[in-house]
Amino acid sequence: MVMLVMEPSTRRYPVKMMASKPALGLSITDSTLEALELGESGGKFFVASYAWLRLPQGVIVDGKVNDAKALAAELVKLMASGRPKKFKGPVVLGLPQQHVFLKVFQIPAFEGKDLDEAITWHVGSLKPVLPAQAYTSYEVMEKGKNGDVKVLLAAVSELIVDGYLAASAMAGIEIAMIESLAVAKARLLDPKKLLGKSVVSVHLYGGILSVSALVNGKLWFSRELVVGEGGEGVVVATVRQVVGFFTERKEEHLAAISEVIYSGDRSGVVMIEKSLTGFEVTVRRAESGVALMPSDAVQDAATAAFAPVLGLAMRGKLAQKGLIDLLPKWPKEKAECKRLKQSLTQILVIMGLVVWLVALGLGGWWWWIGEQQRALISLQRQYQAQFAQDREAELLAWGREFNQVVRVVSLIEEKSVKHSEVLTELAAVMPQDVRVTSFGYKANSQWSMAGVAPTRDDVLELDRQLKESGFFAKAQLYFSSLETGEGVIFRFSGDTYGK
């Protein structure tokens, strides 16, 4: 039997990691709205304001907004009901784990722009298992000793995100970032206690149980479900399932699960301790990522330190880049256009006022106006002459660009012929049940493809066929996933040398 260990909390985020803007977290589920603003004073942190509301039934169903106007009205109430003060400023929106697809994958060593292109290509190869019409984002988690890069991919349906954005716009709320609540919950833990370890984090807050596998403090995968009273059996079964899943699929160089750490609200902590007493792996209470000072906003700062919405507010404070952000580009572009329109309107008003004042002051200065008019005519002629010269230079540059395009088209036609030959050879060796989802070929005979096969043996058969075909050389196989019951995702790359 392993005893439960309780240790004091320590702060992990120093003040120098903080941004100057206020941080406001917003959590939206099918049944509740929750907001929290994180404040800082003298190098210490506190909950500056907090609010919670229950949503009317049917406003949101399975993450999809059915009534945007009703949700907007509730959001306005939430922002106004913040205590001890109303909420202001942009928010970090958290999405429930059940609506966000998370996957960790590995790619070979790349740098800079090449790394972005490699990740984008791999994300494209995963489209068969991603939500249809999804917004995606990724975070580079770590780089291995051999240069391999670990990447955490997140994807969420556009329908879900667009519904939240529409309601927020009606409520006059600016959404600055969007992330999964599973990521926000992992941020609540002290990473110094997780370095070099593989652990399972059990978090039970407000009746929502989250069980996540963390490696070096980074989220690898997570399960989330609702647990009611007497759900101790569900807790221990879910923890065992996550431990077993990670153990079966972890890579050799990763550490095995060394401990289970738990956190949550008061009733959640009691249920976890009751469920995991005598568990096979060491179990201890988690240490908070931030030590909160008492404030008028919450009665129990220790419990608030593990509120998921606090993790969202902390995201707004962190001065880190490259984190998961599922907010699409179009809201920012729309806001910029609105600000530009307002600026132009102000400029036009100011210009109109200036013109009126100038006209009023020039009533008796007709001679001076005539002189200015003649000067303007001369300047106009100069501009016309300069325009003609610039136009001629543009036509010459366009001619050079057109010739270059013609040469590029010739090269593309030559590449297409070779591309067709490679596809013909590939079709001759492709097993019947294997499906190719993407294929790429470069003029230097380098090729790559990705696809889905029913079983691992089908992929290995394709690998043998490629290497014995007499056309493909250095065919190299990469398994991207063995975690789905619908098929095995694979990737090949190599060179061709012809017959």
Could you state, in order of their start, the residue ranges of all structural domains in the chain? 12-190+294-327, 194-286, 422-496
The pLDDT of residue 293 is above 80: yes
DSSP string, 291-308: -EEP-SS-S-HHHHTT-H
Residue range 369-385: mean pLDDT, rounded: 79
Place of tokens 């923890």: 239
The domain 194-286 is placed in CATH, from the list 3.40.640.10, 3.30.420.40, 2.40.10.10, 3.40.50.2300, at: 3.30.420.40
* pLDDT tens figures, 145-179: 777 888 899 999 999 999 999 999 999 999 999 99
CA–CA distance, 316 with 339 (Å, rounded to integer):
22
338-348 pLDDT, tens digit per residue, is 667 667 777 77
pLDDT digits (tens, 9 = 90+) for 309-337: 999 999 887 766 778 899 998 776 666 67
Residue 275's pLDDT is 94
Task: Give me the amino acid identity at 162.
Answer: D
User: Quick one: fold of 422-496?
Assistant: Gyrase A; domain 2 (3.30.1360)
Bigger pLDDT: 482 or 69?
69
| Interatomic CA distance for residues 488 and 459, integer angstroms | 8
Q: Do domains 194-286 and 422-496 have the same CATH topology?
A: no
Which pTM was predicted? 0.64
Token pair for 471: 């056309």
Least Cα distance to 224 among 207, 247, 249 occurs for: 207
Q: Residue 428: how many CB atoms within 10 A of its CB?
A: 10
- The number of helix segments (H) and strand segments (E) in the chain equals 11, 20
* Strands 175-180 and 91-95, sheet pairing: parallel
CA distances to 92, 191, 218 from 14, rounded to whole Å, are 21, 13, 19
Of 166, 180, 158, 152, nearest to 96 (Cα)? 180
Checking if the pLDDT of 67 tops 50, the result is yes
Mean pLDDT of the chain: 82
User: What confidence tier does 391 reach under pLDDT thresholds 50, 70, 90?
Assistant: low
> Tell me, which fold does domain 12-190+294-327 have in CATH?
Nucleotidyltransferase; domain 5 (3.30.420)
Q: What pLDDT digit, counting tens, does each position of 23-40 carry?
A: 899 999 999 999 999 988
**pLDDT top residue among 342 and 437:** 437
Helix axes 266-276, 232-249, angle to 10 degrees: 70
Q: Each residue of 454-468: pLDDT tens digit?
A: 888 888 888 888 888
Tens-digit pLDDT profile for residues 78-103: 999 999 999 988 999 999 988 999 98
From residue 264, give the alpha-carbon distance in Å to each of 205, 206, 211, 235, 241. 5, 8, 12, 13, 20
Give tens-digit pLDDT for 467-496. 887 777 678 887 766 555 567 888 888 877
Q: What is the pLDDT of residues 189-232, one digit of tens each?
A: 998 899 989 999 999 999 999 999 999 888 988 999 999 888 89
**What is the side-by-side order of every strand in the sheet holding 208-215?**
218-226, 208-215, 198-205, 257-264, 282-285
378 pLDDT band, cuts 50/70/90, is confident
Per DSSP, 353 falls in state H
Kindly give, in sequence order, each residue whose CB lies less than 8 Å from that of residue 159, ignoring residues fewer than 6 positions away.
64, 133
> What are 422's two structure tokens?
């490679």
Residue 11 in this model has a pLDDT that exceeds 50? no
